[in-house]
A = this chain, B = another copy of it.
């Protein structure tokens, strides 16, 4: 069900680089391809391991760049470790399966309104929030009763 590749990622990345006076380098494309090749979420270190010819600092720099451009979003796992995954642009949250690790997007969250009401009671002005949801995906539920 998850798309195997993200060919649009490469194209959008190149277009976005050109628009913002950043160079389209071979290394950048390598990093982007390594990410696109991989389904689901990943850590920066995993990309480093997958691209031993690319410097660690460079991998981190480019992941940061991709995240700032909105092509990647950050996923906080239950153990506190930070992962990334190709992003559906726009605000969303993640349903993280604690068994298989799959992180599917939870779109159309109407939490902000709820929060504004609740927090408003104590005079707090909400400007943002971070939400991760943990549980079992459909497949893992049927596997492990």
Contacts and interface: CB of A to CB of B under 8 A. Distances in A.
B131 A126 contact: no
Q: How many copies does the complex hold?
A: 2
Given A82-B80, A111-B111, A126 B130 contact: no
Interface residues of A, number: 35
A55 B133 CA distance: 36
A27 to B, nearest CB: 25
A97 B124 CA distance: 8
Nearest to A82: B80
Contact of A133 (B97, B98, B104, B119): B119
Which 6 pairs across A and B sit closest by C-beta, in order of nearness?
A: A123-B138, A126-B135, A127-B135, A129-B133, A128-B134, A125-B136
